[in-house]
Structure 1
């Protein structure tokens, strides 16, 4: 499932899809069994049935929905003959929602259906039903204590205030070299044999022959990597450039590219080239801006099946 691959970024979308699934299932059950309510009516109707006449604000607070959403739903319930608005006998300035006789009669017939719903959900989800309810309750408590909007904005401010650092290779970062490159290779292409060899032992295949590896770090997170591979004396390949998709837009790719070019100059190289693919258009634009020039054909003897772009750096 695609949304699952997005993790926390798609949390709201996944919960909505799950909610829509349960709403749809309940409506199908109600229609099949001849019930005269809709699943989305249940929170308001059940609250009024349990508590009695209440204002829109009271209902909204109790069921965790906005005043506007409950007001709009109330309009539908009034139109369906399930709810009416009336003045509060104890306070004529206040309007409360009251169940109609039709609503009372409809809800009174739902006992066997609600029992079947509880049992059916338990059967379908097994132990996950109780786990889900516990998790929802825990999330509700956490969101009350630590509102998510403020938390996200605070994290964004921290990210904006934290510069992306470029650091050299260290043995403890080896796993990130593989992770970051595997991410983009598996998304757009596949991990070819030469990729697997280099990614599994970068010290042997990049560092020992005279190359360099750099990482982009944001706080405690390693968010990108790039390598400078020495093919022969003075000839270097810019390779294995990867930035974590969840951290793009922070300039990590350019910082890494600049670091590799600077290292190329420091080592007094005379040729710097790269091989890429035409589908990676944002990366190609970045390379062009940095001084890489597109060549008319692919590089002779290219190691990569995916390579249909060959670019050579021209110092400006």
Structure 2
């Protein structure tokens, strides 16, 4: 499932899909058994049935929905003849919601259905039903103590305030060289044998032949990497660039690219090239801005099955930055 691969980033979407599934199942049951209600009506109707007449504000607070959402649902319930608005005798400026006789009659006959719902959910989800309810309750408590929007904004401020550092290769960073490249390779293509060899032993295949490897670090997080591979004296390949998708948009790819180009010049390189794939449009645009020029055909003798783009560094042709 694609949303599952996004983890916490798609939490809201996954919960909505799960909610829609349960709403749909309940509506199917109500229709099949001839119950005159809809699943989305239940929180308001059931609360008014249990607690008696209440204001929209009180209902919204009790069921954990916004005042606007409860007000809109109330409009539907009024049109359906299930709820009536009347003036609060204690405060004429407020409206009080009360169930109609039609609603009382409908709800009074739903006992067997609600019992079946309880048992059916337990049967379908088995032990996960109790675990899910416990998890929901724990989440609700946590969100009351610290609203998620505030927590997200605080983390965003912390991320933006953390300096991005470019550091050279160190043995302790070897696992990140593999991890960061495997992430994008597995997402877009597959890890080829040449990739597996180079990523597993970068000292042998990149550093010993005269190359260099750089990493982008955000605080203690290693979020990106890129390598400069010396193919022959004066000829270098820009290769193995990967940025953790969680941290894209911070400029790590651009900084890594600049570090590799600077190292190329520092070593007196004569030719710098790269191989890529036409599907990676964001990366290709970044390379072009840095001065890489698209060649009319793939590189002769390319080692990569996925490579259908060949670019050579021509800094004099790079577009001027505003």
Superposed pair shares fold, TM > 0.5: yes
2:5: which partner in 1? 5
Find the residue that maps to 1:174 and give its secondary structure.
helix
1:198: which partner in 2? 198
* CA distance in 2: counterparts of 1:174 and 1:122, whole angstroms: 48
CA displacement at 1:10 relative to structure 2: 0.8
* CA distance in 2: counterparts of 1:188 and 1:83, whole angstroms: 54
How many residues are aligned here? 316
2:68: which partner in 1? 68
The equivalences for 1:144-155 within 5 A come to: 144-155=144-155
Find the residue that maps to 1:102 and give its secondary structure.
helix
Asked whether 1:180 is paired with 2:180, we answer: yes
Asked whether 1:169 is paired with 2:144, we answer: no
CA displacement at 1:91 relative to structure 2: 3.8
1:295: which partner in 2? 295
The equivalences for 1:97-108 within 5 A come to: 97-108=97-108
The equivalences for 1:105-254 within 5 A come to: 105-254=105-254
CA displacement at 1:145 relative to structure 2: 0.8
2:59: which partner in 1? 59
Find the residue that maps to 1:239 and give its secondary structure.
strand
Q: Deviations over 1:264-299 (max 9, x none)?
A: 122222221111111212211111111112222211
2:79: which partner in 1? 79
Query: Mean alpha-carbon deviation: is it higher for 169-178 or for 6-15?
Result: 169-178
The equivalences for 1:266-285 within 5 A come to: 266-285=266-285
* CA distance in 2: counterparts of 1:23 and 1:8, whole angstroms: 23
CA displacement at 1:43 relative to structure 2: 0.2
The equivalences for 1:1-40 within 5 A come to: 1-40=1-40
Find the residue that maps to 1:228 and give its secondary structure.
strand
> TM-score scaled to structure 2, two decimals?
0.95
Unaligned runs of 5+ in 2: 317-322
The equivalences for 1:298-313 within 5 A come to: 298-313=298-313
* CA distance in 2: counterparts of 1:108 and 1:17, whole angstroms: 30
CA displacement at 1:92 relative to structure 2: 3.8
Q: Deviations over 1:104-126 (max 9, x none)?
A: 11111111111111111111111
CA displacement at 1:87 relative to structure 2: 2.1
Find the residue that maps to 2:54 and give its secondary structure.
coil
CA displacement at 1:93 relative to structure 2: 3.8
2:89: which partner in 1? 89
Q: Which runs of 4+ in 1 moved over 4 A?
A: none
> TM-score scaled to structure 1, two decimals?
0.97
Unaligned runs of 5+ in 1: none
